[in-house]
């Protein structure tokens, strides 16, 4: 009995490791098309920044580790070109056929292409990408960079390059940052970037890169679904691979997880495409468990994400006002700013925007920013969303208080109190 | 129509302020027996430490503010000696009768008495207490202090005195700190105290204070219920005032909130006595709303608390193993230690002990400690407890991840994964 996993980063290796725990005698083979496996892609901007000195520090485990410690075969440079589910086999570049009984497709995503290309155009998606950029920075000592896209990666890349002394301009096609239609959030991020002398150009159409020594393309991710689609696996309306709650695709015995797959959004109750490392790992575990014979369920996502932009933490969870309207809710929003902890323990202003549905009083989402305490608060709201809490229940939460950690009325509770009067 | 509130600190003033918002024409009178109102009692240790230079910094609002801005009469030095609900009046020391239509009893608590008394014995409960201790420290320059009790206040007081250069010994009657029967927690706290050369003596019976220049009595709190009891109001089995979910006592029209009252514990589903500032404020708001004619409900508590001991954050929520057994659960516990965030962003080891019930898989409680990130994680678990989550759902939470804030597997998720295998 062989489990084949296509993809050796977050979801693929989570699936393989989980399957091994459950089925000690299962043969497990992981095929990774790239040179590296098991790396923390979210750490790449910090390797560029220099905070992480060596790229190996971002590698969690080696193929050798998986072979010795987990009895899992991991092959790098192994690109699958087609899958024949009728024959239960994958075909590799070079013609080799690899048989399977169960298959997990964890082919990930790739940076969305733009009009920019050439030797001074970079992406920041793989360890190889980062190595290439790092070498360029060292050898060519560029002075000016253009970052295309004001999503997480774009803003993190801008931060990393600026801290290396480059002049940085970020261009974004939409009128807002972080794919969140929120004028105040965009203003807060812009203010922070300007304080560090990074230029942000919104509503910026196809821009030329004249005057820039390098271009970072960070215009979003596109799921790698071609292999699956050609094998006859259904895609969802988001364009990513459609899976059920067991991570099984439309072909029985083939599972999918990670940045190539959709996930159930618990607020909209519809599939969404939110490619993130944490979700990839969770989905991978469920795919691996079920491929190994269990019957586990992935609980779904609420769209939580966080980013640090020059010391400003920005976090989102659930829906924005615009998304909520589009999904048919009647959202009411409140925005408050309150200290993250006692002033005499270094508390900083924390802004919390909270949304609930007017009819049902159900919590729909939140956007938070501040220099301190953002991660703890967004996680409380993410937990509340997972539990479909109503705003008057959020207001009642028994959160921890002592002056070194919080204020007697936590910002989340203050926002909930205000919102409670309005829904 | 007059609302009378007895007690002018957290619960009493939250009740008064909330009632005012709801009923603009209600007459509201607050009677406070002490000299000060509206102060953050949780900040007192930091005034002793010197981090808060002036006691006024702990005062949120003055009687003048309440009069001018809220049209609420606040009288200090006004001690109520009896309540006659039949006549709807309170009698003050000195004989004055104050009539009411609705009454909120927010008489708070007092430090539990010990065998220690005299001019060098202090408590740290009111602003006056703190002022007296501060004066003593300044005028007498003591060298050695004995702290009686290893609860929150005792440990915070020990920290504050040690940072002022005193030699400090903490004595505690029970075999553990923070009223939590947990040997590893106690060991972690002891290790931290010893690193700062504070002696911790557990299982210590009535100790004499020879060799100490001062004694801080911090042996727990006792609810101030005498006034209520003498008025015929029922007390609960905890000894505090019994209230329903509307904060109404056994006498219709009399509400109670704060450190004198019980609260429904959502894990045990029984009334508990957990006197804390955040809970006092929440209860006070509900009491005030209902006294003003609304019909609101206090959601209950899950027993969340947090304390900083020489830079070690210690937090609890829900039940300990011992409490869970006593309440008839079949608790299973797991304890993990994992980084609070990426090492290259200053992550520190965070220990999470998580408990769930073997039969129902329901989450029961957690104990956490570490130098970083404790508050955010305990709040996630507190939110989970409020929602009666099961351990396999906790494992699925969509928590925020980026290296500056967390690790790809949050410590809470790691603990939940481990526990999920055991329940």
DSSP labels, A207-270: ---TT-SEEEE-S-EEE--HHHHHTTPPB-TTSSBP--TT-B-SSTTEEE-STTB-EEETTTTE
Q: Specify the pLDDT at position A285.
A: 97
The residue whose two tokens read 């299973």 is B332
Sorted by sequence, the CB contacts under 8 Å of residue B228 that are 6+ apart come out as B83, B105, B107, B235, B241, B249, B254, B256, B260
What's the rounded Cα separation, in Å, for the pair B79 and B70? 22
A328: region left, alpha or beta (phi > 0 left; psi from -120 to 50 alpha): left
Strand-by-strand arrangement of the B102-105 sheet: B73-75, B27-31, B2-6, B102-105, B254-256
Chain B residues whose CB is inside 8 A of the A410 CB are: 278, 379
Total residues found in chain B within this entry: 423
Give me the residue from A51, A302, A313 closest to B344, CB to CB. A51
What is the distance in angstroms between the Cα of B246 and the nearest Cα belonging to chain A?
13
Q: Specify the pLDDT at position A205.
A: 77
Chain A residues whose CB is inside 8 A of the B406 CB are: 306, 375
Say if strands B121-122 and B270-272 run parallel, antiparallel, or are unpaired. Answer: unpaired
Both tokens of B85, joined, read 């609900």
Both tokens of A167, joined, read 């002049």
Total residues found in chain A within this entry: 423
Chain A residues whose CB is inside 8 A of the B282 CB are: 396
What's the rounded Cα separation, in Å, for the pair B345 and A30? 31
B396 touching A (Cβ < 8 Å)? yes
Strand-by-strand arrangement of the B97-99 sheet: B80-84, B89-92, B97-99
Q: Is the separation of the CB atoms in B109 and B221 below 8 Å? A: yes
Say if strands B102-105 and B214-217 run parallel, antiparallel, or are unpaired. Answer: unpaired
- For chains A and B, CB pairs below 8 A equal 193
Give me the residue from B57, B397, B402 closest to A383, CB to CB. B397
**pTM of structure:** 0.97
B409/A281 Cβ within 8 A: yes
List, in sequence order, the alpha helices (H) in A346-421: 374-386, 391-394, 411-420
Chain B residues whose CB is inside 8 A of the A344 CB are: 43, 46, 51-52, 57
Both tokens of B305, joined, read 């608390």
DSSP labels, B391-414: HHHHTT------TTT--SS-HHHH
Sorted by sequence, the CB contacts under 8 Å of residue A413 that are 6+ apart come out as A394, A395, A397, A399
A264 touching B (Cβ < 8 Å)? no
Q: Is the separation of the CB atoms in A332 and A356 below 8 Å? A: yes
What's the rounded Cα separation, in Å, for the pair B340 and B346? 8
Nearest chain B residue (CA) to A266: B398
B342 touching A (Cβ < 8 Å)? yes
First to last CA, chain B: 55
* CA B207 distance to own-chain centroid: 26
Q: Is the separation of the CB atoms in A105 and A6 below 8 Å? A: yes
Q: Which of A47, A379, A381 to mutate to test the interface with B (most CBs of B within 10 A)?
A: A379
B405/A308 Cβ within 8 A: yes
Q: Specify the pLDDT at position A279.
A: 97
What structural domains does chain B harbor?
A: 2-37+55-108+222-291 (3.50.50.60), 113-217 (3.50.50.60), 311-420 (3.30.390.30)
Chain B residues whose CB is inside 8 A of the A51 CB are: 344-345
Q: Which of A130, A338, A400 to mutate to test the interface with B (most CBs of B within 10 A)?
A: A400
Give me the residue from A304, A308, A342 closest to B398, CB to CB. A304
- Measured N-to-C along each axis, helices A277-291 and A10-22 cross at an angle, to the nearest 10 degrees, of 30
B374 touching A (Cβ < 8 Å)? yes
Q: What is the pLDDT along chain B (423 residues), one digit of tens a residue?
A: 999 999 999 999 999 999 999 999 999 999 999 999 988 899 999 999 999 999 889 998 999 999 999 999 999 999 999 999 999 999 999 999 999 999 999 999 999 999 999 999 999 999 999 999 999 999 999 999 999 999 999 999 999 999 999 999 999 999 999 999 999 999 999 999 999 999 999 999 767 778 899 999 999 999 999 999 999 999 999 999 999 999 999 999 999 999 999 999 999 999 999 999 999 999 999 999 999 999 999 999 999 999 999 999 999 999 999 999 999 999 999 999 999 999 999 999 999 999 999 989 999 999 999 999 999 999 999 999 999 999 999 999 999 999 999 999 999 999 999 999 999
Q: Is the separation of the CB atoms in B284 and B15 below 8 Å? A: yes
Chain B residues whose CB is inside 8 A of the A160 CB are: none
A50 touching B (Cβ < 8 Å)? no
Chain B residues whose CB is inside 8 A of the A157 CB are: none
What's the rounded Cα separation, in Å, for the pair A226 and A214? 30
Give me the residue from B301, B380, B396 closest to A282, CB to CB. B396
Q: Is the separation of the CB atoms in A245 and A95 below 8 Å? A: no
A residues 274-333 lying closer than 8 A (beta carbon) to B: 276-279, 281-282, 298-308, 313, 315, 317
Nearest chain A residue (CA) to B316: A400
Q: Specify the pLDDT at position A210.
A: 82
List, in sequence order, the alpha helices (H) in A273-373: 277-291, 321-326
Element (H, E) at B48: helix B44-49
Q: Is the separation of the CB atoms in B331 and B356 below 8 Å? A: yes
Q: Specify the pLDDT at position B210.
A: 82
Q: Is the separation of the CB atoms in A261 and A241 below 8 Å? A: yes
Q: Is the separation of the CB atoms in B190 and B196 below 8 Å? A: no
> Choosing from B22, B42, B342, B399, which is the catalytic residue?
B42
Q: Which of A402, A411, A420 to mutate to test the interface with B (most CBs of B within 10 A)?
A: A402
B residues 194-213 lying closer than 8 A (beta carbon) to A: none
What's the rounded Cα separation, in Å, for the pair B410 and B400? 9
* Residue B260 annotated among the catalytic residues of the structure: no
A409/B398 Cβ within 8 A: no
Q: Specify the pLDDT at position A38.
A: 86
Sign of CA dihedral B53, B54, B58, B61: negative
What is the distance in angstroms between the Cα of A88 and the nearest Cα belonging to chain B?
31
B269 touching A (Cβ < 8 Å)? no
* Regions of chain A where pLDDT drops below 70: 206
What letter would DSSP give residue A398?
Answer: -
A27 touching B (Cβ < 8 Å)? no
């Amino acid at each position: 009995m062989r489990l084949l996993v296509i993809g050796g980063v977050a979801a693929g290796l989570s699936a393989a490791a989980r399957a091994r725990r459950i089925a000690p005698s299962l043969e497990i083979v992981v095929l990774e098309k790239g040179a590296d496996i098991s790396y923390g892609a979210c750490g790449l901007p910090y390797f560029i920044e220099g905070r992480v000195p060596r790229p190996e520090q971002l590698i969690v485990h080696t193929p050798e580790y998986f072979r010795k410690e987990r009895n899992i075969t991991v092959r790098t440079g192994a690109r699958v070109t087609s899958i024949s589910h009728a024959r239960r086999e994958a075909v590799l570049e070079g013609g080799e056929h690899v048989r399977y009984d169960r298959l997990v497709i964890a082919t990930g995503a790739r940076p969305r292409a733009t009009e920019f290309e050439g030797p001074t155009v970079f992406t920041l998606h793989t360890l190889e990408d980062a190595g290439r950029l790092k070498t360029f920075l060292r050898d060519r000592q560029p002075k000016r960079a253009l970052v295309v896209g004001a999503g997480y990666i774009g803003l993190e890349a801008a931060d990393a390059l600026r801290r290396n002394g480059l002049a940085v301009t970020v261009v974004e096609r939409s009128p807002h940052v972080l794919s969140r239609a929120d004028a105040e959030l965009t203003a807060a991020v812009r203010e922070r970037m300007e304080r560090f002398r990074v230029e942000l150009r919104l509503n910026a159409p196809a821009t030329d890169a004249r005057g820039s020594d390098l271009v970072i393309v960070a215009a979003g991710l596109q799921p790698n679904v071609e292999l699956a689609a050609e094998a006859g696996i259904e895609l969802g309306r988001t364009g990513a691979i459609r899976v059920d709650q067991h991570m099984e695709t439309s072909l029985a015995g083939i599972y999918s997880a990670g940045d190539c797959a959709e996930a159930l959004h618990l607020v909209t109750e519809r599939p969404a495409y939110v490619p993130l490392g944490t979700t990839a790992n969770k989905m991978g575990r469920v795919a691996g468990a079920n491929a190994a014979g269990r019957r586990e369920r992935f609980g779904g996502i609420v769209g939580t994400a966080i980013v640090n932009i020059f010391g400003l933490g920005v976090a989102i969870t659930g829906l924005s006002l615009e998304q909520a309207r589009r999904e048919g809710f009647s959202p009411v929003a409140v925005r408050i700013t309150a200290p993250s902890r006692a002033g005499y323990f270094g508390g900083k202003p924390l802004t919390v925007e909270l949304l609930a549905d007017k009819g049902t009083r159900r919590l729909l989402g939140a956007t938070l920013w501040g220099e301190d305490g953002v991660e703890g608060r967004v996680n409380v709201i993410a937990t509340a969303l997972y539990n479909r809490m109503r705003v008057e229940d959020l207001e009642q939460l028994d959160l921890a208080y002592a002056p070194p950690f919080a204020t007697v009325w936590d910002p989340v509770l203050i926002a909930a109190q205000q919102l409670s009067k309005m829904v």
